[in-house]
Structures are given as C-alpha cells and as structure tokens.
A = this chain, B = another copy of it.
Amino acid sequence: MEASISSEMDPLIHKLSHIVALYRPQQQALSANCRPVRLYPARAQLLAQKQAVTERRVVLGGWACHTRLLADGRRQIMHLLLPGDFIGTASRRGTLSCSTVIALTPVTVATIGDLEDTTFEAAFQICDSLTEAYLMNQIMRLGRQSAQERLAHLLLEIRSRLDLAGLGGRGRFDFPLTQDVLADVLGITNVHVNRTLQNMRASGLIELSGRTFRIKDQPALESLAEYHAPIVAPWQEDG
C-alpha cells in the first residue's frame, strides 16, 4: 500500500487504466502531481457558472453534478460526477463553464498539475469523449424515453461508470442520490420517481433501501432501456 493520497487516487487511476497502459512510475507521477486533496461538504459549489476553468480538477470521492436553474425554480442536472470524473469542461482549460457544479455528497477533490507525459493528454481527451457519450445518453433519455426507461438507463450507466472507477460491487453499490436529485437528473418529478422506483422494485428489477442499491436483473434492465455500455477506444501509440 502506498501513501494515503495514492489510495485516494485509486478511482482515477483505475479509470485511466482502462484507457491507456499506466505503469507504476506513471501512476506515481500522477499522484505526485496532485495538490493536496480538498474536502467539500454536501451542497457546496465546486464551480460557478460563467467562471473560468483554470485548473484541471478531479473528483476522487463522493458524488457531484453539473446543474442549471431556471428562474421559476425548475432545475436540471445535466451530468453526474462520480469518483474519477473531471470537474468543469472536462479536461479543457481556458473556457467558461456553462453550468454550476455542486457537491451532492461530501466530496474530495484534487487538482492535477501539468504532466509532461503525453500519454496523459491522450487519456484525458478520451475521458472527454466518455463525458460526451454520457451527455448524449442523457439527451437520448430525456428526449425519447419513458420514465421507466430513463430510470433504468441511468442506473445502468451509473453502474457501468462505478465499475470503471473500480467501485462496482457486482451490481451492488452505495447510492447517495435522493429521489429529488434523481428527478432533476431524469427530467421528471420526485413523485413520479418514487412511483417508478416502486414499479421496478415490484418487478424484481432492482433493490433499493437506504443508501444501498442493487441491480437484480441486469439483462431485463438492459433490454428495457436499450442500454449499451460506451466503448472505450482501443488504445494505440499516437494513433
């Protein structure tokens, strides 16, 4: 086992390892380049709308989200941030954020300095592509799927993303989202989230009590939601 910062880096390292070959010295270079982890409480703002993104920051623990508000109080969560995900406009810098980023749970965040290794640049860009895929998933869900389908699709995406970060427990994982938050992700009301969840529980598709979530019938959920896990591009030396 390494120093404490290193184990906190695990979600990011686990995720990057799916994308590029990360050898021990590189993992250490990455950890060495991280400024001390900072802890935010739930509901804290990690990035304000229209704020410039000046640093590359990553969520190491806890859940956060990109969110936007309308004048009358309607809220839409555009994108969830799970451990290993970058804050702001992905890994790019010198741009203005087009949404607010807030912590949904207590969250630990690290700042990644500049890395000489171009391997990382390539990996970060592929992370951007993944983010883009998740945004497009979100659009598909909101635009053309029913409440049931949306919920199933989102849950499968979350499962797949947690797996990528090494946090998957074979379909069982810690689920900190309230039904209000789920509603704002899915573009429906909290009341309807509740009813849809109950349907899915009654159908034996999922289990959810307290903060523990379990996917009971992944194949059924996948065919219900037409979910396809994003494909991480096969890595190639300077493609």
Residue A180 is within 8 A (CB to CB) of chain B in the complex: no
Interface residues in A216-239 (C-beta closer than 8 Å to B): 226, 230-233, 236, 239
Q: Mark A175-195, 1 if CB is under 8 A from B, else 0.
A: 000000000101100000000
| Tally of this chain's copies | 2
How many chain A residues have a CB neighbour from B under 8 Å? 49
* Shortest distance from the beta carbon of A155 to any chain B beta carbon, whole Å: 17
Known: A139-B135, A143-B142, A187-B143. A236 touches B94 (CB 8 A): yes
- Docked-complex contact B136 and A136, CB < 8 angstroms: no
For A128, the chain B residues whose CB sits under 8 A away are: 89, 92, 128
For A186, the chain B residues whose CB sits under 8 A away are: 143
From B92, B142, B145, B236, give the contact of A139 (CB < 8 A).
B142
In the bound complex, how far is the Cα of B222 from the Cα of A105, in angstroms? 34
Residue A24 is within 8 A (CB to CB) of chain B in the complex: no
Residue A5 is within 8 A (CB to CB) of chain B in the complex: no
Residue A68 is within 8 A (CB to CB) of chain B in the complex: yes
Residue A140 is within 8 A (CB to CB) of chain B in the complex: yes
- Docked-complex contact B239 and A136, CB < 8 angstroms: no
* Shortest distance from the beta carbon of A127 to any chain B beta carbon, whole Å: 10
Task: List 8 additional A-B contacts (Cβ < 8 Å) besides A79-B136, A98-B136.
Answer: A52-B233, A78-B140, A89-B128, A89-B132, A90-B132, A94-B236, A95-B126, A98-B230
State the A residues within 8 Å of B (CB).
50, 52, 54, 66, 68, 70-71, 74-76, 78-79, 89-90, 92-96, 98-99, 122, 125-126, 128-129, 131-133, 135-140, 142-145, 184, 186-187, 226, 230-233, 236, 239
